[in-house]
């Protein structure tokens, strides 16, 4: 299933009436990884008043959030809503609050936690993951021009082009176009290419695909 995640950790900051809100976002593959990230951020911010968090993990459909002592619904839910609105999965966000001495009220807290999370999301490098197949094949140099000409139309991710006795190629193609590409490769090489396919993979094909 196609999904959007992030490549690596990122941060975002927001200030409201002298309270500082720091959003930390990280890629995670399991609920255990998400919990570990939450604990890491807490350990790095022991003087903070609150460490609100939310995470969405595709494994077992785990979706969790916590207000961490803030009034119910003013922290974890707004953070989770930002993740959902951005279509993110396999991510965990912790928003750390350093209290500035002025109460913000429910609306102020929702705005602050949402904004800090949104800043972290905006600063993170997105990965647009799609189901794909890996195609591996070898071909004669005389056929390389034909094959390289047709590949751009399929938005493939080239993993390897090894120029030895023959040209050895390994590439990723979206699952819904794999059969069509295989047929095109066979046609372009007059059936001389031997294809090896690995299915049920996923890779970042970018937002414009």
Residue 49 CA to its chain's centroid (Å):
29
Residue 7 CA to its chain's centroid (Å):
6
Mean pLDDT throughout 146-172? 95
Rounded distance between C-alpha atoms, residue 175 and residue 1, angstroms: 10
Q: Which residue has the tokens 């493939």?
A: 156
In the chain, which residues fall in CATH 3.30.70.240?
Answer: 128-204
208 pLDDT higher than 80: no
In the chain, which residues fall in CATH 3.30.230.30?
Answer: 3-124
Rounded distance between C-alpha atoms, residue 97 and residue 198, angstroms: 46
- pLDDT given for residue 96 in this prediction: 97
Over the stretch 55-77, which tens digit does the pLDDT of each residue have?
999 988 999 999 999 999 999 99
Over the stretch 27-44, which tens digit does the pLDDT of each residue have?
999 999 999 999 999 999
Q: Which helix (H) or strand (E) element contains residue 28? A: none
Q: Which helix (H) or strand (E) element contains residue 2? A: none
pTM of the model: 0.85
Mean pLDDT throughout 161-187? 96
Over the stretch 108-130, which tens digit does the pLDDT of each residue have?
999 999 999 999 999 999 999 99
* CA end-to-end distance (rounded Å), the chain: 15
Mean pLDDT throughout 146-160? 95
Over the stretch 8-17, which tens digit does the pLDDT of each residue have?
999 999 999 9
| Pair of tokens at residue 69 | 């002592």
Rounded distance between C-alpha atoms, residue 136 and residue 151, angstroms: 13
Rounded distance between C-alpha atoms, residue 23 and residue 14, angstroms: 8
Over the stretch 81-107, which tens digit does the pLDDT of each residue have?
999 999 999 999 999 999 988 888 999
- pLDDT given for residue 29 in this prediction: 95
- pLDDT given for residue 209 in this prediction: 64
157 pLDDT higher than 90: yes
φ, ψ of residue 96 to 5 degrees: the values are -90, 130
Average pLDDT over the chain, rounded to whole? 95
| Topology of domain 128-204, CATH | Alpha-Beta Plaits (3.30.70)
* Residue 7 confidence class, pLDDT cut points 50, 70, 90: very high
| Topology of domain 3-124, CATH | Ribosomal Protein S5; domain 2 (3.30.230)
Please report, to the nearest 10 degrees, the dihedral formed by the alpha carbons of residues 63, 30, 131, 117 taken in order: 50
- Using alpha carbons, list the distances in angstroms from residue 194 to 59, 155, 163, 169, 200: 35, 21, 17, 11, 20
């Amino acid at each position: 299933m196609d999904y959007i995640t992030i490549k690596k950790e990122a941060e975002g900051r927001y200030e409201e009436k002298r309270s500082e809100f720091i959003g930390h976002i990280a890629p995670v593959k399991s609920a255990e990884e998400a919990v570990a990230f939450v604990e890491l951020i807490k350990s790095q911010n022991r003087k903070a008043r609150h460490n609100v968090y939310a995470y969405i993990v595709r494994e077992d459909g785990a979706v969790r959030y916590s207000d961490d002592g803030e009034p119910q619904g003013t922290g974890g839910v707004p953070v989770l809503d930002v993740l959902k609105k951005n279509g993110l999965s396999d991510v965990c966000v912790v928003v750390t609050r350093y209290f500035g001495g002025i109460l913000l009220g429910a609306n102020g807290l929702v705005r602050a936690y949402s904004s800090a999370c949104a800043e972290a999301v905006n600063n993170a490098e997105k990965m647009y993951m799609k189901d794909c197949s890996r195609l591996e094949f070898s071909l004669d140099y005389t056929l390389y021009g034909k094959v390289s000409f047709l590949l751009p139309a399929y938005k493939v991710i080239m993993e390897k082009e090894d120029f030895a006795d023959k040209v050895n190629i390994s590439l990723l193609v979206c699952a819904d176009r794999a059969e069509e590409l295989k047929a095109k490769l066979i046609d372009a090489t007059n059936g001389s290419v031997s294809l090896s396919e690995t299915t049920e993979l996923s890779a970042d094909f970018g937002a414009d695909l």
